[in-house]
A and B are shown apart, each in its own frame.
Chain A
Amino acid sequence: MRRRAVILLPLIVVLLIAANGVLRQRLADIIESFPTPRPAVPAGWPAPQYDFSSNPVTASGFELGRRLFHDPRLSRDGSISCASCHQQFAAFAHLDHRVSHGLNGANGTRNAPPLFNLAWQPELMWDGAIHDLELQPLAPLGNPVEMGEALEGVLPKLQSDAEYRRRFEAAFGPGEIDSRRMLLALTQFVGTLRSADSRYDRDELSAQEREGLALFRRHCASCHREPLFTDYSYRGNGLDADSADLGRSVVSGKAEDRGRFKVPSLRNVAVSAPYMHDGRFDTLAQVLRHYASGVQDSPALDPALRGGMALSAEQQQALVAFLESLTDEAFLQDERYSEPLP
């Protein structure tokens, strides 16, 4: 009996080690077989600005980025994740929040923008402060009213977590967890949040929406350029005669850019209220009323908006109907982007 145990024990140990290796490989294979979103350019779209060739998207890299995006441990006190202010059902904007509250309930100064099609953005943020998608996470991470955490604080947390160590190694190979790997993983996630499947894209518009589209092309499309619904320029849209927020001028150093902000995309606009850089409008109807009759003159004001737009109430309704057709339900419900299971 004892002799049998002596023979069996090493055998069991060897089997367990082998099984562990096989299981790990199986797990890695299963992860790599996930239908991970990959960088792709929808028909008729321009080439993206971010070059994924230096950061090839893999299933393990994307999954790691998704985990980091949803992990509140990235903030100083473990309370705020990227997803806290970027909610999928709001197209990764912060629904019902003019500005978002970060660490210790401190308020930010600008409305959290929705996140999708970021690979096409030449610069990030309302004022274009960030020139490269990879570097974008550093801003909310380090901002004391957002996540309030320095890289020197985040990296040890990740390095001391066995699950993260395994995932980083699966994504990038052996080596230490450093800021670059963390940023590349986050970029694989946020850079492949792609929204291109609204009823507008599928050409399934009602008569009223079509009328709205025609109005949109006449009045709005020069700045909100199709198919991305922005030309990524910085413009003044007449919100204030004297803007409290310096806007683009902080980055450009040019006085005339005071109160100018990046033209936001209008995809998923119906689900990502409130609107404007300070979230002052709660509804699209209010936004349209602003353009029709609320435009304030200032040196920053875009010449095309001087005097406002001549839009009847009916036309405004048609425009709102069209804007609602830009909602991409498949994107909002895509489980590949949702909070991962622990």
Chain B
Amino acid sequence: MKRAALLILAMLPGLAACGRAPELDAEIDISHVVGGEPLRLDEGHYRNAAGEEFTVGRLRYYLSLPRLRRADGSWFEPRYPAESVDAYHLVDEAKADSRRLRIGGVPAGEYVGIEFLLGVDDARNHGGAQTGALDPARGMFWTWKSGYIFLVLEGTSPESPAPGGRYSYHLGGGEPSLARRVYLPFGERSIRVEERVKPTVHLAVDVGALLSAVNPVRIAQLPEAMDPVAARPLADNAAAMFRVDHLHHEPRRRGGG
């Protein structure tokens, strides 16, 4: 009975798509690395640019308001209903499905780059009670100064003077905001969004860059950054974590996304 209901449910999107142009989408897949190595929570031991050894226990951040750039410089910006939180995505290394996000309603065509906000925009950051990725129950909300934590990186390092050798970086808030716009050009290639072809953009996000890209950070000197003043040097580093690793296209399955 249950299985039959599920089957019918699974068929519904297919049925609904009949008779009109299927909605096209693009997918973003994220892999976390440290330097050249894949990130393994708690188990991997890495070194930052200053030579300090560290592990990563928690990595979470918001990717918001994605948009795709066309070759002529114009943008495709997905439109969402006013109350919707679909434009906000919480990436959590501990949750595999959170490392994949989908941009829906993309018009067919070629796109040369992607832009998103690392963090939450002021309008939503200063809003009231919200749901979905912005539900305070997700554990990314501050109450000592209400607003979202844009990025969390926590782990241990023998260099940290904090109890348990822990280090904790919580980026959020700030005036001006610590949220950063990140634009990633696809380079010589571009992605094609077509009825028969679905593109996937693979991003490699280097946690090592968070400690060194623009403002080098020593865990020994900064075991904790839990407020916007302390975390400001990290915000520019965070924006530099992202790069396009590779693109690929595969045939779209009929009826599916």
Interface residues of chain A, those whose CB is within 8 Å of chain B, are 54-55, 129-135, 138-139, 142-143, 150-152, 155, 178-180, 183-184, 187, 250-251, 253
Contacts and interface: CB of A to CB of B under 8 A. Distances in A.
Contacts of A253: 175, 227-229
Interface stretch (B20-28, B46-54, B127-135, B210-218): B127-135
28 contacts: A54-B128, A130-B146, A131-B126, A131-B147, A132-B126, A134-B129, A135-B136, A135-B143, A138-B136, A138-B141, A138-B143, A139-B144, A139-B146, A150-B139, A151-B137, A152-B137, A152-B139, A155-B137, A178-B131, A178-B137, A179-B129, A179-B135, A180-B130, A180-B135, A183-B129, A184-B129, A187-B129, A251-B144
Given A151-B135, A179-B129, 9 more contacts: A131-B146, A131-B147, A135-B129, A138-B141, A138-B143, A152-B139, A179-B135, A180-B135, A253-B229
A129 B145 contact: yes
A171 B175 CA distance: 38
Contacts of A250: 144-145
Contacts of B175: 253
Nearest to B143: A139
A150 B135 CA distance: 13
A135 B135 contact: no
Contacts of B126: 131-132
Nearest to B141: A138
Contact residues of A: prevailing secondary structure: helix
Given A54-B128, A253-B227, A253-B228, A129 B135 contact: no
B140 to A, nearest CB: 12
A129 B136 CA distance: 16
B129 A129 contact: no
B127 A132 contact: yes
Contacts of B129: 132, 134-135, 179-180, 183-184, 187
Contacts of B147: 131
Interface of B: 126-131, 135-137, 139, 141, 143-147, 175, 227-229
B173 to A, nearest CB: 9
Nearest to A128: B145
Given A178-B131, A180-B129, A135 B146 contact: yes
B144 A132 contact: no
A134 B137 contact: no
Nearest to A253: B229
Contacts of A179: 129, 131, 135-137
B104 to A, nearest CB: 23
A130 B143 contact: yes
A129 B127 CA distance: 14
Contact of A178 (B135, B145, B146, B228): B135
A60 to B, nearest CB: 18
B87 to A, nearest CB: 17
A253 B229 CA distance: 7
A319 to B, nearest CB: 35
Nearest to A153: B137
Contacts of A142: 143
A55 B127 CA distance: 13
A112 to B, nearest CB: 16
B177 to A, nearest CB: 13
Given A179-B137, A180-B135, A253-B228, A134 B145 contact: no
B146 A132 contact: yes
A75 to B, nearest CB: 15
A215 B210 CA distance: 58
A155 B145 CA distance: 23
Contacts of B228: 253
A284 B139 CA distance: 41
Contacts of B144: 129, 139, 250-251
A178 B136 CA distance: 10
Contacts of A143: 143
Contact of A151 (B131, B136, B229): B136
Contacts of A139: 143-144, 146
Contacts of A178: 131, 135, 137
B46 to A, nearest CB: 30
Contacts of B227: 253
Given A139-B143, A253-B228, A134 B135 contact: no
Contacts of B131: 178-180
Contacts of A155: 137
Across chains A and B, which 3 residue pairs bring their CB atoms closest together, nearest first?
A151-B137, A134-B128, A183-B129
B145 A251 contact: yes
A152 to B, nearest CB: 6
A258 to B, nearest CB: 14
Nearest to A133: B128
Nearest to B83: A54
B223 to A, nearest CB: 20
Contacts of A151: 135-137
A56 to B, nearest CB: 14
B141 to A, nearest CB: 7
